[in-house]
């Protein structure tokens, strides 16, 4: 640690001692100069303590379809009680809580309408799908200390069966169905933004690795009618993709391959490959292994497009890691400090895996209300594999 770092560390230690002093806290609340800052800090602390309550109000609104019920205009408490199958007192409690968070809004004549945030959620069904998925995460966090000490198995590990299996390609259709359906329901909000930020029509064949049920391929196909499509995922997931693409009339343009993208050879011949919400679901060793496996499948001049939620970079909201983590709640909390979330280390990982450096661009992944924000990391120019 150099002199400047030591100096800053001493300053931070002094700050911590002062702020932790109860006498200073009382003085800061009384002093007209420091009072606004002290009150802001107190509100932030209360928000942290009440955060679980806020999230549960939002989950209740999503599960009861409150935003859909109010989408056409304000309704009375009695009318909403009937629609939501709740008693009148319970409906009023929910509406008052929702109104305090900007999800609903009190109107004239004892009616309620959508609040600003509620209106935004009403127009974003993919975000609501993510919210309805959150109780799995909350269940894991009921006993956070036990989870940290690995004294219990998290529910998300079972919901996302790929996470700790030795042979993920042996997973059955029943095992992959819940998570595959969830990813398919939430993928459009990422796919459209990614395709707005990157012109996929410049390519001839797209290989989507870990492509799930083919939602991104279908969106890309709509943007580029000439584009040939290739999808690679676990066999049980690939079978679901085949059904979806057949229903969409795209199977004549598509090749579907099943396997393990960490260990099996990937299909060759594509001039652009995509990893969408894939890399950050793996630890560093697996992520590097995946990048190297992709590198083997790409010819010189091909492009690798990586689309991920990002934190630890300018413009990324602190809630971003929570939204993009589906495997581990503690991975979500620590993602902001993870080297994989930082642009310079992402470039280093790509260079280590055999890619040339490129300019990267941050782009909003979807129009997002408060506490529901994600970012995509999208190369602005081709990530060109090195010539061996």
Write the pLDDT tens digit of every residue in 197-213.
Answer: 888 999 999 999 999 99
What pLDDT does 325 receive? 32
Question: Which of 355 and 269 is assigned the larger pLDDT?
Answer: 269
Alpha carbons 128 and 117: distance in angstroms, whole number = 12
What pLDDT does 131 receive? 87
Q: What is the mean pLDDT of residues 151-164?
A: 68
Q: What is the Cα Rg of the chain in Å? A: 24
pLDDT, one tens digit per residue, over 108-120 is 988 999 999 999 9
* Spatial CA neighbour of 186 closest among 138, 131, 223, 137: 131
pLDDT band at 386 (very low <50, low <70, confident <90, very high): low
Residue extents of the structural domains in the chain: 31-122, 126-379
* Top mean-pLDDT range of 135-139, 223-227, 368-372: 223-227
Alpha carbons 61 and 74: distance in angstroms, whole number = 15
Whole-prediction pTM value?
0.67
Quick check: 220 and 239 in contact, CB under 8 A?
A: no
pLDDT band at 341 (very low <50, low <70, confident <90, very high): very low
pLDDT, one tens digit per residue, over 276-319 is 888 877 777 888 888 889 888 888 778 888 887 655 545 444 44
What pLDDT does 310 receive? 55
Residue 322, burial from CB neighbour count under 10 angstroms (0-12, 13-18, 19+): buried
Question: Which of 175 and 239 is assigned the larger pLDDT?
Answer: 239
* Spatial CA neighbour of 278 closest among 308, 248, 301: 308
Quick check: 348 and 286 in contact, CB under 8 A?
A: no
Residue 304: phi, psi to the nearest 5? -110, 120
Half-sphere exposure of 215 (CA within 13 A, CB side): 20
pLDDT band at 163 (very low <50, low <70, confident <90, very high): low
Question: Which of 223 and 382 is assigned the larger pLDDT?
Answer: 223
- 31-122: CATH topology is Arc Repressor Mutant, subunit A (1.10.10)
DSSP 8-state class, residue 341: G
Q: How far is CA 107 from CA 96, 100, 259, 380, in A?
A: 12, 13, 55, 46
Residue 145, burial from CB neighbour count under 10 angstroms (0-12, 13-18, 19+): exposed
**284: its two tokens:** 């560093």
Alpha carbons 360 and 369: distance in angstroms, whole number = 25
Q: How far is CA 16 from CA 2, 11, 32, 37, 49, in A?
A: 21, 9, 22, 16, 20
Q: What angle do CA 204, 354, 302 make, to 5 degrees?
A: 10
Alpha carbons 388 and 386: distance in angstroms, whole number = 6
What pLDDT does 328 receive? 39
Residue 267 C-alpha from the chain's centroid: 27
Question: For the domain bounded by 126-379, which CATH number is listed?
Answer: 3.40.50.150
What pLDDT does 364 receive? 45
Query: Average pLDDT over the chain, rounded to whole?
Result: 79
Alpha carbons 143 and 361: distance in angstroms, whole number = 38
Of 192-206, 228-242, 342-356, minimum mean pLDDT range: 342-356
How many angstroms separate the most distant Cα atoms in the chain? 73
């Amino acid at each position: 640690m150099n002199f400047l770092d030591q100096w800053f560390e001493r300053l931070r230690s002094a700050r911590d001692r002062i702020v932790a002093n109860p006498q200073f806290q009382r003085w800061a609340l009384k002093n007209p100069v420091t009072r606004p800052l002290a009150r802001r800090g107190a509100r932030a602390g209360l928000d942290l303590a009440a955060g679980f309550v806020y999230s549960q109000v939002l989950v209740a609104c999503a599960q009861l379809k409150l935003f859909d019920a109010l989408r056409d205009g304000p309704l009375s408490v009695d009318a909403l009680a009937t629609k939501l199958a709740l008693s009148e007192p319970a409906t009023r409690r929910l509406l008052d809580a929702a109104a305090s968070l900007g999800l609903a809004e009190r109107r004239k004549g004892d009616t309620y309408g959508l609040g600003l945030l509620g209106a935004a959620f009403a127009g974003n069904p993919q975000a609501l799908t993510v919210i309805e998925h959150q109780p799995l995460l909350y269940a894991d966090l009921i006993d956070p200390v036990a989870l940290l000490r690995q004294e219990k198995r998290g529910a998300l590990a079972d919901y996302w069966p790929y996470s700790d299996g030795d042979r993920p390609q042996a997973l059955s259709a029943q095992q992959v169905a819940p998570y595959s359906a969830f990813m398919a329901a939430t993928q459009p909000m990422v796919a459209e933004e990614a395709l707005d930020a990157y012109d996929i029509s410049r390519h001839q064949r797209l290989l989507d690795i870990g492509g799930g049920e083919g939602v991104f391929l279908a969106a890309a196909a709509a943007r580029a009618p000439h584009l040939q499509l290739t999808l690679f995922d676990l066999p049980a997931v690939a079978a679901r993709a085949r059904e979806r693409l057949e229903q969409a009339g795209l199977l004549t343009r598509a090749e579907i391959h099943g396997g393990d993208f960490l260990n099996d050879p990937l299909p060759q011949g594509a001039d652009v490959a995509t990893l969408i919400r894939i890399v950050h679901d793996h630890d560093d060793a697996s992520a590097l292994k995946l990048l190297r496996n992709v590198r083997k499948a790409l010819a010189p001049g091909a492009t690798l497009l990586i689309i991920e939620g990002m934190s630890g970079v300018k413009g990324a909201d602190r809630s971003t890691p929570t939204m993009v983590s589906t495997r581990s709640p503690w991975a979500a909390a620590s993602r902001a400090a993870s080297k994989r979330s930082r642009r310079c280390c992402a470039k280093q990982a790509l260079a280590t895996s055999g890619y040339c450096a490129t300019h990267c661009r941050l782009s909003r992944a979807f129009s997002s209300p408060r506490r529901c924000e994600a970012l995509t990391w999208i190369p602005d120019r081709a990530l060109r594999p090195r010539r061996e």
